């Protein structure tokens, strides 16, 4: 029974973020998809339509999954990602600059590993708008990226169908790791108690600090910035920074600023 309780806690710590969805029906259908897989945290990001969940199409497509639909959160993407240490962007097309790309099964295993690393760890899975998907900037805010294995001749998935596939894969990954759940409290990170992955907000703070320092030293020309922003984000996503590493680098940046 204790194992089942903790497993349900893992389901509660996964957020599914829809960036700028355009159709209320897709929001309702996504709520239904999550409810059938045991998830309940649904977020709408970067949208001015903060009552979309009340639309009659959303209610109809939710088909009774009111416990998910009624508690939809409306946030900016940065706010939605800020407390997380692991996030996954879903995209159909490769980009020149992107976080490490994983297959769906590998991504879901990493997601569960991230949640098992701490009793309070939450993860986020990010889906783009129906027509345009995620922008490069939105995608680079995530730590991993994944494209679904679909037909090359016709790979167009409805938003809620993508949510259904990914939530099903995450459910299977959580259940497959159930034997590890009782030891959750003993997991402390890669080898030492202080090895805690940095939150998205902490990494963003380091990114902004380094960009500011680059401008102050003349390393970065604001009139011709090149791709430094994207390269830093890609580096951070690949490195998987820890909290104490971010603190060390922030301290170094602060000392350098004082001596300029």
Task: Give domain limits for the chain.
Answer: 2-182, 200-258
Beta bridge partners of 90: 146
**Which string of b and e fits 53-84 if b means at least 16 CB within 10 Å?**
bebeebbebbeebeebbeebebbebeebbeeb
SS3 42: strand
H helix or E strand, kind and range, residue 206 = helix 200-217
For residue 14, the cross-strand partners are 123
If 0-12 CB within 10 Å is exposed, 13-18 middle and 19+ buried, where does residue 194 land?
Answer: exposed
Tell me the CATH architecture of domain 200-258: Orthogonal Bundle (1.10)
More confident residue, 211 or 108: 108
The set of long-range contacts for 149-156, using a CB threshold of 8 Å and a minimum separation of 24, is: 149/103, 149/104, 150/92, 155/92
The two domains 2-182 and 200-258 share their CATH topology (first three levels equal): no
The helix (run of H) or strand (run of E) holding residue 113 is: helix 104-116
Decide if 162 contacts 125 (C-beta within 8 A).
no
Radius of gyration of the chain from its Cα atoms, rounded to whole angstroms? 19
pLDDT-based confidence at residue 125 (cuts at 50, 70, 90): very high
State the average pLDDT over residues 2-10. Answer: 63
Query: Regarding predicted confidence, which is higher, 4 or 1?
Result: 4
- Cβ neighbours, 10 Å, residue 30: 31
Alpha helices in 126-260 (DSSP H): 136-139, 159-176, 200-217, 228-239, 243-258
Quick: pLDDT tens for 162-213: 999 999 999 999 988 865 554 443 444 455 555 788 888 888 888 888 888 8
Per CATH, domain 2-182 is 3.90.1150.10? no
Residues 6+ apart with CB under 8 A from 235: none
pTM as predicted = 0.79
Q: How far, in whole angstroms, is CA 146 from its chain's centroid?
A: 11
Which residues, 6 or more positions from 252, have their beta carbon under 8 angstroms from its beta carbon? none
As a whole number, mean pLDDT of residues 218-246 equals: 82
- Please answer whether residues 196 and 243 qualify as being in contact, where contact means their C-beta atoms are separated by less than 8 angstroms: yes
Average pLDDT in the chain = 87
How distant is the alpha carbon of residue 170 from its chain centre? 13
- Nearby residues of 233 by Cβ (< 8 Å), 6 or more positions away: 97, 99, 140, 141, 207
Q: Do 30 and 129 form a contact (C-beta atoms < 8 A)?
A: no
Q: What tokens appear for 16 in the block?
A: 């599914």
Is it the case that residue 107 has pLDDT exceeding 80? yes
Binning pLDDT at 50, 70 and 90, where does residue 20 land?
A: very high
Give yes or no for residue 253 having a pLDDT over 50. Answer: yes
**Triad 192, 194, 195: Cα angle to 5°:** 70
């Amino acid at each position: 029974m204790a194992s089942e309780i903790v497993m349900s806690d893992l389901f509660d710590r996964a957020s599914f973020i829809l960036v700028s969805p355009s159709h209320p029906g897709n929001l309702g259908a996504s709520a239904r998809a999550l409810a059938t897989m045991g998830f309940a945290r649904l977020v709408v990001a970067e949208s001015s339509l903060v009552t979309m969940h009340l639309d009659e199409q959303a209610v109809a497509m939710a088909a009774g999954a009111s416990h998910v639909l009624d508690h939809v959160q409306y946030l900016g993407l940065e706010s939605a990602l800020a407390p997380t240490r692991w996030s996954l962007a879903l995209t159909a097309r490769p980009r020149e600059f992107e976080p490490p790309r994983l297959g769906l099964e590998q991504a879901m295993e990493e997601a569960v590993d991230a949640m098992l690393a701490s009793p309070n760890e939450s993860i986020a899975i990010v889906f783009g708008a129906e027509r345009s998907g995620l922008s490069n900037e939105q995608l680079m805010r995530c730590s991993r990226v994944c494209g679904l294995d679909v037909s090359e001749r016709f790979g167009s998935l409805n938003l809620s169908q993508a949510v259904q596939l990914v939530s099903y894969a995450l459910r299977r990954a959580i259940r497959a790791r159930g034997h590890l759940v009782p030891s959750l409290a003993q997991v402390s990170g890669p080898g030492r108690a202080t090895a805690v992955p940095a939150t998205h907000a902490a990494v963003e703070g380091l990114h902004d600090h380094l960009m500011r320092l680059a401008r102050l030293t003349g390393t970065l020309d604001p009139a011709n910035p090149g791709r430094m922003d994207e390269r830093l984000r890609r580096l951070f996503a690949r490195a998987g920074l820890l909290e104490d590493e971010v603190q060390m680098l922030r301290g170094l940046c602060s000392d350098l600023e004082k001596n300029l």
